[in-house]
A and B are shown apart, each in its own frame.
Chain A
C-alpha cells in the first residue's frame, strides 16, 4: 500500500528565500538561453511600449486641444496604432518563448529526475512513498517550469516599466512627479504585506484540500469496513471537521484578497487625486504643463500599481514553489550509493566487444558471502559476520521468522543493497568490481507480490528478454504452466493485464512473473515466495513451475512452501542475522533442532502456552 498520490508532502520549505537554490534552478534554463533572453528582452520592450503609450496620448490630446488635425495629429495617431500593434506582437513572441522555455525546462528536469530515479538504491524508495516521487516528476516540475518564464518577464517588465514611468513623469514635470510618486512606497508595502499573507493562507487551503481528498479516498477505499463497523456517523463528523476547516481557511484567504485589491485601487486614486490637485493648480497658475500632460499623469498614477503588484506576486510565487524546487533539485543532485566505481567504468570503456560489458568473466559458478555485516539503521544490525558459499546450481532456501534477515540476504545477493562490511564474491571477484548493470542482467528475481506493467500478457513476459520471439515467449509460458490459462483467457497473449496486473488473479500474476523470469534465463535466481493463498489448483501449478525454474541454477529462495524447502539443496534457518541451522531437509529433521521445531505442532503449542502466560500476566 503506497501513499496516495493525493496527499502531498509538506509544502513548507524553510521560510527563508534560498538564493542559491534558485540560482541552480535557473541554471536549467542555460540550455534554453535563447528563450531566456527573449523573455527578458520582451519584458524590456513591453515596458518601453507601455511607457510611450500615455505619452503619445498626451501629444495627440495636446494637438486636439489646440484644434489641429494636420500632419502632426496624423503622425501621433499612427504612432499610437504602431505602439499597440508592437505590443500585440511582443505578446505573441513572449508567449511562444515562454512555451519553449517552460516546456524545455520541464522536459530537462523530468529526463534528469527520471534517469536519477533509475539509479537510486532501494533504501531511497523505502522511505518515500511512490506518490511523492511521482509528484516530483509531475506537479513539482510543472510548478517550477511554469513560473520560470513569467518570473523573468515580469521582473524585467516590472522594474523597467516602473523606471520608465518615473523617468517620463520627471521629464514632463519633476515636481508633479514627486507628488504622484508618494504612492509608490505604500503600494510596495501593501503588496508585499498582502502577498505574504495570501501565500500563508493559500498554503493552508491547499494543505486542507489535500487532506480532504485523502479523507474521501479513505472513505472510498474503506467503505465496507466503515459500514461493518457501523461508524458512518463518526466518519461524517470527522469529515465535517476537515471540511469546516477548509471553509474557514478559504474564506480567510478570499477576505485577504477582498481587502488587498481595494487597497491598491484606493492608493491609485490618491495618485490621481494628487495629479488633479497639484497639476490643476499649476495649470491655473499658467505653467507649461499641458492638459495632455495632466491626463498622462493621471494615467501613470493608475498604472503604477500594476508592476508593483506583479513583482510582489512573482516573488511570492517563487517562495510558494521553493519546496517543490528543493525537492526536484535534491533528487537530481542525489548521488546513488550503489553505482559502478570509477575503475569499473574505466574497464567498461576498454572492454572487448562480445563479452560482458566490463570485460570480466561471463559465467557465474559460485557466490560467496564473506564476513558480511549489514544494517538499515546504524544501531540495529541485521546481519553480523554472515558467511555463505553457494556453488554449482545449488538452491538455497532461507527460512526463519520475519525480520530475521532473510530478505536482506536475498537483497544483498541481488546487489539491491551492498554489504556495510565484508564482501560478496562472485567466482572469487568482489561483486563491486563488476558492472552493476551486467550483474543485475544475470539475475532473475520474483518478488512476493509480483508486479506486472500495464500492457499485454505478451509484453509482460517479454520484459524478461526484450528480443524474445513469440515462440520463445510461449515456450517460457509453457515451462511454468501458464500457457493454458493464457490461451483460454479472453484475448490470449494479447490480453491487457490492467494497471499493476489488476485484471488477473494473484495466482495468474505469479505465473506470469515466473514466465518472465524463465525467459530471462538468468544465471542466478532470487525468489521471495508468495504467502498469500490462491485456490488449490493454481497453487499446484505454481508449485511445479517453481520446481522447473529452480532446477540447475544458483538460487536464493525465501521459502514458505514446504515442497520448495524440501527440494532445496541447502536450507538455512536464519534468526537474528545469523545462520542458526544449515543442512538438507532430511538432515535438519533428523537433528530435531530449531528447524524440526519450526515445522511441528510442538512448537506451535509451546509458543501458544507461553503466550497464554503472557496474556494472564497482563
Chain B
C-alpha cells in the first residue's frame, strides 16, 4: 500500500502545488457554503423572533457582521445580499478548485501517456513476443482512464465529502451538543453500507462484464466469419448461439439493476432517516424551548449539505481498489527494463558497405533454444538465401541482425564493427526489412512508402512502386497515392501490402535489404518480376532472402539450409540440388508440383 502511495505521489511531480491550491480552495468553499445558512439563522433568531436570546458564538458573530439586530431588522436585503455574496465567493472557490484539479490531473495523465508511449517504443522485442496486445492496450487506455478518474474526480470528491463533514462539526457542537450528535449518528452506517455493498457486488459486476465480453466476441466472430456462415447457410445456428449470449447478458445485466435497487433505496432510506432524526428531534426541542428556531434551521440545512457527499464517499472508498489495481498494471509496464543500452559509434564509411559476419551466435527464447552457434559470412553486395521449415530460426537470425533481439552468446559484425557498439537507430537505418505480414500505418499509401526516406520526390516513390509491381494497383484506387490505408482506410490484400512494403524498402536505398518471406502472398509470376527488377536496379546492396518457394531462390549467390537452429547445408542452388539432404528433398516435392510450368518454359 505504501509504495503505491509513493508511486502516485511521484506521478504528481510538478503538479503538487496545484493540488495543494485545489485543496485549500476546497476547504474555503466548504466553509463559505456553511456560512450561508448562518445568515437565515441570524435572521430567523435575531430579527423575526420576538424574544431576545443569547445565541451561540457563530450566531452572535454573524449578527454583528450583518450590522446588528436593529440595522438588520430595518434592512433585510442585507441578509439577502450576504447569502448571495457568500455563495458567489464559494462558487469562485469551487471554480478555482475545479480548474486547478483539471489542469493538474490532465497534465499528470498526459505525461503518463507520453511516458507509456515512449516506453513501449523502447521495450525489447522479446517482451512483445510474450505480451498480449489487447491487454497492453487496455493498460494504456482504460487503466490510465481509471487513474485519471481517481486523480481528477475521486480524490477530490472524497476530499470534498470530508471537508463538508468535518468543517461544520465544531460549529455544530458549539451550537448544540445534543443536536450535533443526532446529526451524525447514522453516518457511519451510511458509509459502512456502501463499503459492504460494493464489496459484495464486485462479482456481479464482473459476471456482467464477462457476459458482455462473450456477447461482443460472439458478434465479432459471426461478422468476421460471415462469409463462412453464409457459405454453409448457418444463419439459424448463429442466431441461436447469439440468442443464448444475448439472453445471458440480459439476465446478468438485470441482476445488477435488481441488486443496485437495494443499495440505492436502502442508502436513501438511511440518509433520509438521518435527516428525519435532525428534523423531528430538533422540532421537539424547539417546541419544548431548549433549541432556537434559527439554530434548528442551520442543522437542517447542514445535514442536507453533507449527507449526500458522505454517501458518495462510501461508494468512492469502495471503488478505490480499482484505482490501485490500475496503478499496479500501468507500473508493471513502466518497470519493465528498456532495450539494452545502445552503442554510440556511427556505422563506418567503407567503399562497399554491407559485409555481414555472424560469429558463434546462440539465442534462446526464454528457456527454449532457437539458434545455436551460427557462423555465417555474407560479402558486401551478395545475396544470401535462407531455407528451412517453420520454426527453424530463420526470422530469429534477421531479428538478431536488426538488434531486435540480443544474442545470448556470439557476435555480429557489419563492415567489421560489432553491432552492439553501433548506435542502434543508425544501424537500423541502413537496413530495410520486409516481413511476411508487413505493417502499414493508417495514413496515405504515399506517406507509408515515403516514411523510409522523407526527402524522396514523387518520381522516386513511383520508381520504387514500379519495381515492386504495385504502381498500377495504386492508381486503381479512387484517390491513387493519397488513398488512406490501415485502420481507417481501405483494406489492402496481403500481396498488395507486401508490395507496398517492398516499395518502401527499396525507396530507402539500404545497404542491406532483408526479405523475410516478403513475397509469399504475391503470385509466382509477379514475384519473379519483382526479384529480377530488383536485381537489375538495386544490385549493389547485400540482400538476405527467406522464402518457401525454392524456385525464387535459385539465383542467390549462396544458400543456407536451417533446421532446428543449425545450419545443416550450405552452397549454391546447383550444388545443393545435386547432393542428398533436406534441400534436395524440398526441391523435388516442389518441382513435381510445378513441373508443367518448368516444362512449358
Contacts and interface: CB of A to CB of B under 8 A. Distances in A.
Contacts of B528: 601, 604
Interface residues of B, number: 168
Contacts of A270: 84
A464 to B, nearest CB: 6
B476 interface: yes
A114 B219 contact: yes
Contacts of B227: 122, 416, 445, 447, 451
Residue of B101, B269, B487 with highest tally of chain A CB at under 10 A: B487
B84 A218 contact: no
A3 B485 CA distance: 10
A2 interface: yes
Contacts of A77: 276, 280, 283
Given A106-B253, A219-B120, A247-B107, A88 B137 contact: no
A78 B213 CA distance: 49
B447 to A, nearest CB: 12
A278 B116 CA distance: 60
Contacts of B594: 562
B173 interface: no
B98 interface: yes
B99 interface: yes
B549 interface: yes
Interface string B521-537: 11101001100110010
B473 to A, nearest CB: 8
Interface stretch (B185-193, B413-421, B458-466, B573-581): B458-466
Contact of B466 (A125, A402, A611): A611
B318 to A, nearest CB: 18
Contact of A61 (B141, B253, B293): B293
Interface string A1-39: 111111100000000000000000000000000000000
B491 A137 contact: no
Contact of A451 (B228, B590, B593): B228
B220 A280 contact: no
Contact of A69 (B43, B44, B287, B549): B287
Interface in A211-242: 212-232, 235-236, 239-240
Given A218-B442, A266-B87, A535-B389, A611 B110 contact: no
Interface stretch (B198-206, B243-251, B378-386): B243-251
B122 interface: yes
B451 interface: yes
A490 interface: no
Given A65-B286, A228-B433, A114 B246 contact: yes
B548 A295 contact: no
Given A244-B110, A265-B90, A607-B529, A562 B593 contact: yes
A231 B232 contact: no
Contacts of A178: none
Contact of B87 (A87, A122, A265, A463): A265
Interface in B85-119: 86-88, 90-92, 94-95, 97-99, 101-103, 106-107, 109-110, 113-114, 117-118
B227 to A, nearest CB: 6
A213 B137 contact: yes
A569 interface: no
Contact of B293 (A137, A291, A562, A599): A291
Contact of A246 (B110, B125, B286): B110
A367 B399 CA distance: 52
Interface string B260-279: 11101110110011011001
A598 interface: yes
A357 to B, nearest CB: 11
A128 to B, nearest CB: 9
A594 interface: no
B442 A114 contact: no
Interface string A75-93: 0010011001101110111
Nearest to B424: A230
A583 interface: no
Interface in A406-444: 414, 416, 437, 440-441, 443-444
B137 A92 contact: no
Given A84-B273, A228-B428, A262-B91, A103 B122 contact: no
B402 A228 contact: yes
B225 A243 contact: no
B90 A277 contact: no
A95 interface: yes
Given A111-B243, A118-B229, A213 B141 contact: yes
Given A1-B486, A255-B102, A600-B600, A280 B239 contact: no
Interface string B42-68: 011001110000000000000000000
A277 B279 contact: no
Residue of B44, B103, B247 with highest tally of chain A CB at under 10 A: B44
B437 to A, nearest CB: 9
Contact of A437 (B233, B256, B463): B233
Given A57-B279, A269-B36, A443 B88 contact: no
B258 interface: yes
Interface stretch (A159-167, A324-332, A340-348, A526-534): A526-534
Contacts, number: 458
A495 interface: no
Contact of B137 (A3, A216, A543): A216
Interface string A248-260: 0011001101110
B520 A532 contact: yes
Nearest to B79: A276
A238 B179 CA distance: 61
A361 B97 CA distance: 78
A618 interface: yes
A235 B525 CA distance: 36
B261 A218 contact: no
Nearest to B74: A284
A263 B88 CA distance: 8
B197 interface: no
Nearest to B112: A243
Contacts of A226: 121
Interface string A509-535: 000000010001000001000011111
Contacts of A539: 548, 589-590, 593
B76 A276 contact: yes
Contact of B106 (A84, A107, A247): A247
Contacts of B377: none
Contact of A232 (B122, B216, B268): B122
Nearest to B224: A130
A463 B234 contact: yes
B490 to A, nearest CB: 10
Contacts of B493: 402
Interface string A495-516: 0000110000100000000001
Contact of B589 (A133, A262, A537): A537
A273 interface: yes
Nearest to A261: B94
A453 interface: yes
A453 B225 contact: yes
Interface string A283-312: 110000001001100100000000000000
A451 to B, nearest CB: 4
A546 to B, nearest CB: 12
A285 to B, nearest CB: 11
Interface string B578-596: 0000000010011001101
Interface string B422-453: 00111011011101001101100000000110
Given A257-B98, A536-B586, 7 more contacts: A69-B284, A103-B257, A133-B223, A216-B141, A221-B133, A223-B125, A453-B225
29 contacts: A66-B287, A80-B280, A84-B276, A89-B265, A91-B261, A213-B137, A214-B487, A216-B120, A221-B133, A223-B120, A223-B121, A224-B435, A227-B121, A254-B99, A269-B84, A272-B83, A273-B80, A281-B76, A284-B48, A291-B44, A443-B233, A463-B234, A533-B520, A536-B590, A561-B593, A562-B597, A563-B596, A601-B528, A601-B601
